[in-house]
Structure 1
Amino acid sequence: MQLRQMAVAFIFNKRREVLFLQKKPTSAFLPGLLVPVGGHMESGEISDPKRACLREIQEETGLGEHALTGLELRYIVHRMKDEREIRIQYIFTGEAAADSELVESDEGQLLWVDCNEVSSQHVSASTEAVIRHFLETGIYNHKTYIGTMHGKQGQAAMNWAVLEDWESRVSL
């Protein structure tokens, strides 16, 4: 069994749009899908997913850390892929400065998508579940959520839990 760890970001703007990367149809990973900005973590980044996320944002959009506000870890999603791989995705949210200029990479085309229209786009089930949860719950707090993908009645579904230190809540 292999582990694949990724760090991605849902970057929003003032118009309630989220930035996606439209993967090329010839891409080896998620061809043709709209995906959040980000990618695979390098070996030196395993203990620092934010560093990996910032590197990927810079590579795929040209946005540096100075062009982002409120970039914070909001979701950690786990899923099994083909019974051979566990995918762990560290998902950050943040906002791009209004005057930010995007620079496309060779990964695909950058697109701003209205938050309410994400579910009608060509996105993965996990992307749709995270955006839906963020708009319904996560946008109102700064908690970090753990999600696990599973099948439910033939459809992809996500179970959510708040990541918290329960020992600090127990009085001795």
Structure 2
Amino acid sequence: MAVAFIFNEHREVLFLQKKPTSAFLPGMLVPIGGHMESGEFSDPMRACLREIQEETGLGEHELAALKLRYIVHRMKDEREIRIQYIFTGEAAAGSELVESEEGRLLWVDCSTVSSRHVSASTEEVIRHFLKTGIHNHKTYIGTMHGLQGQAAMNWAVLEDWESRVSL
């Protein structure tokens, strides 16, 4: 999947509230984005931009600083590994949103995300971004796991270690 946390000038983040009848995460608040299509697997940014356009009407020219910030891995039903490419960016002031048939668009204050109907991985990414990621431009990789019956995420900086080693 390729998704984006898009912020506005008030530091609110844009979510899509899925329809209650949706087959995938019904009624939940999800970041803008979705499944990558054939031909997009080597270019998650392209997939993310397509999804943003489809779900919000925002074009690439209405987005600033869209950057890959997180790659999250998690196991689904012990037989499928899910990989989510997560971008962050900013919507240009005054940009008009166009809702799709996917659901309703909502700007949500970042400090209230954990009290909303969001997935555990979304909550963990927002928590990490507000604590660590907002202060730098590094890319992080996260792995979901259980910790004392609760969802948790292990984080590491993703970097090209070999280019930093002098031989």
Q: TM-score, normalised by structure 1?
A: 0.96
Q: How many residues align?
A: 167
Deviations 1:70-109 (A, max 9, x none): 0000000000011121110000000000110000000000
Aligned-residue offset at 1:170: 1.3
Distance 1:63 1:85 in 2: 32
- In the alignment, which residue of structure 1 is the partner of 2:133? 138
| 2:157 aligns with one of 125, 145, 162 | 162
> Match of 1:64, as an amino acid?
G
Local SS of the residue matching 2:143:
strand
Q: Which runs of 5+ in 2 are unaligned?
A: none
Q: Name structure 1 gaps, 5 residues minimum.
A: 1-5
**Correspondence for 1:34:** 29
The question of 1:95 aligning with 2:68 is answered no
1:119 to 98, 114, 121: 114
Is 1:129 aligned to 2:124, yes or no? yes
Equivalent residue, structure 1, for 2:100: 105
Alignment-derived partner of residue 59 in structure 1 = 54
The answer to whether residue 81 in structure 2 is matched with residue 86 in structure 1 is yes
1: distance between equivalents of 2:131 and 2:112?
Answer: 14
TM-aligned CA deviation for residue 171 of structure 1: 1.6
Question: Which secondary structure state, in structure 1, belongs to the residue aligned with residue 89 of structure 2?
Answer: strand
Deviation at 1:10, TM superposition (A): 0.0
1:77 is aligned to 2:94: no
Q: Which runs of 4+ in 1 moved over 3 A?
A: none
1:45 maps to what in 2?
A: 40
How far apart in 1 are the matches of 2:156 and 2:29?
A: 26
Identity of aligned residues (%): 88
2:155 maps to amino acid = W
